[in-house]
Amino acid sequence: QVQLVESGGGLVQPGGSLRLSCAASGIIFSSYIMSWYRQAPGKQRELVASITASGARPNYYNSPKGRFTISRDNAKNTVYLQMNSLEPEDTAVYYCKALHILKVDNYWGQGTQVTVSS
């Protein structure tokens, strides 16, 4: 059974930091491209960052460059999202996604809530 379990979300003040984790089981983790998405209330889910299966190449999409950093530890089957200088606009449910490198399957986690508020 495949599971992606996110953790690390919570309430943080503007300017604060959080590190999200997504622990995978039931898949060959090193064969999957890992991504973080987020969905704010009333908005569509959007891609934030992704990282190649080897971890050699991170890519950033809708997150301002320099504030978010995606990384992975294939030995621990875990992908991370370090978020710094958080802003209220970053408030959302954050999801991780695993996409097989051959795109034959993909899986989602259940999400973790991030709230940035004073």
Is the pLDDT reported for residue 76 higher than 80? yes
**pLDDT class of 66 with cuts at 50, 70, 90:** confident
Cα–Cα distance, 5 to 54 (Å, whole number): 20
Q: What is the mean pLDDT of the chain?
A: 95
Tell which phi-psi region holds residue 50, choosing left (phi > 0), alpha (psi between -120 and 50) or beta: beta
Cα–Cα distance, 117 to 11 (Å, whole number): 7
Is the pLDDT reported for residue 98 higher than 90? yes
**pLDDT class of 104 with cuts at 50, 70, 90:** confident
Is the pLDDT reported for residue 64 higher than 90? no
- Render pLDDT for 13-25 as a digit per residue (tens, 0 to 9): 999 999 999 999 9
**3 state DSSP class of 15:** coil
**pLDDT class of 103 with cuts at 50, 70, 90:** confident
Of 29, 44, 59, 47, which Cα lies nearest the Cα of 95?
Answer: 47
- Render pLDDT for 53-63 as a digit per residue (tens, 0 to 9): 998 899 999 76
